[in-house]
Amino acid sequence: MPVMRLKKTVLYIVLITISLFFLMPVYVMLVTSLKPLGNISLETMWHLPPSIDFSSYAEAFSKLAPNFMNSVYLVVPATILSALLGAMNGYVLSKWKFKGADFIFTLLLFGMFIPYQSILIPLIQFLRDIELYNTIPGLILVHVVYGLPITTLMFRNFYANIPDELLEAAKIDGAGFLQIFRYIILPLSVSGFVVVGIWQFTNIWNEFLFAVTITQSDKQPIMVALQNLSGSQIVAWNVQMAGALIAAMPTLLVYIFLGKYFVRGLLAGSVKG
């Protein structure tokens, strides 16, 4: 079938062309960051490096390492806490509905869409008052609170798929609210926690607005440090590219190894999946 063949060829040409567009930044990042520091002529930007050289990485890493660790200290507790709270809320809002539960859910959900600029001024005042301004715990608090809507939404949709008969049976056996959560819901939640955990990890790691307004210099997470690095005129641009790759590495690795769950989170987080 020559027509089929032609169609197939066109299909591949289109897909490969668009793929090249998507891969272009990665190519530039890799090629540039692997060039030796002396070899930074812009004219040869697209050329492969004459030899593989990691000195850009060494320099970028020495500049970004403290901020990288700040991000780790921020992301781990914030992800765990917001996932736990989301699981509790999702459990109540899907399995223990009361009058007004849906209204409360909508009230929570709106918090997911607001531009954070609209709460930033009071938030910073508040953090100053409770002496958490310019601290990692302050940022953790912020991410846990503003993560509530999305984690609640994800767990609520997730628990909707657990059959109610299971809960009914447990109730007949005399299990109460907490026992059901502890012995039935939580053991069934592993993949839910993976999806929500990955989602929160990625979002919090990548977040910039809170990070740049709530923390200063030595408390800043990685993305702020990367932005400062790229804004500086004196940093060679292969160091900037190496820095960008270092900053992106954790979420990229998560995507590479757990991409399936990442995409599931994306679908679950879009209100109507």
Partner 1 sequence: MEPASETNLSSEVTISKKKKKVLTKDHWLAIGFLMPSIILILIFVYGFIGWTGYVSLSNWNTVVPDFSFAGLKNYIFLFQDFRFQADLRNNLFFTILFISVVLILGLVLAILLDQKMVRGESLFRNIFFFPMALSFVVTGVVWQWLLNPSTGVNLLLKHVGLEPKWYTDTSIIAGFELGKIEFGLPVAIISVVIAAVWQMTGFALAMYLAGLRNIDDEIREAARIDGCSEFQLYWKVIIPQLKPITMSIVIMMAHISLKIFDLIYAMTGPGANFVTDMPGVYMFETTFRGNYYANGAAIAIIMLLMVAIFILPYLWNSRREGR
Applying the rule CB under 8 A, the residues between 109 and 168 that interact with partner 1 are 109-111, 113-123, 126, 145-146, 148-149, 152-153, 156-157, 160-161, 164, 167-168
Residue 207 φ/ψ region, left for φ over 0, alpha for ψ in the -120 to 50 degree band, beta for the rest: beta
Residue with tokens 């990890």: 201
Rounded to the nearest whole angstrom, what is the least distance from the CB of residue 55 to partner 1 in the complex?
A: 19
Rounded to the nearest whole angstrom, what is the least distance from the CB of residue 130 to partner 1 in the complex?
A: 12
> Which residue stretch of 57-65, 128-136, 188-196, 244-252 sits at the interface with partner 1 (rule: CB under 8 A)?
244-252
Task: Decide if 154 contacts 90 (C-beta within 8 A).
Answer: yes
The structure tokens listed for 199 are 């989602």
Rounded to the nearest whole angstrom, what is the least distance from the CB of residue 52 to partner 1 in the complex?
A: 20
By C-beta, is 37 or 209 nearer to partner 1?
209
By C-beta, is 11 or 69 nearer to partner 1?
11
CA atoms within 13 A on the CB side of 248: 14
**Per-residue x/- marks for partner 1, 27-56, CB under 8 A?**
-xx------------xx-xx----------
Rounded to the nearest whole angstrom, what is the least distance from the CB of residue 221 to partner 1 in the complex?
A: 10
Among 21, 174, 233, 234, binds partner 1 (CB under 8 A): 21
Helix (H, G, I), strand (E, B) or coil at 173: coil
Runs of H (alpha helix) within the chain? 2-33, 55-95, 101-110, 117-129, 136-159, 164-172, 177-180, 190-206, 209-214, 222-231, 237-268
Question: How many whole angstroms separate alpha carbon 273 and alpha carbon 265?
Answer: 10
Footprint (CB under 8 A) of partner 1, residues 65-104:
85, 88-89, 91-104
Rounded to the nearest whole angstrom, what is the least distance from the CB of residue 258 to partner 1 in the complex?
A: 10
Using rule CB under 8 A, residue 215 touches partner 1: no
CA atoms within 13 A on the CB side of 166: 14
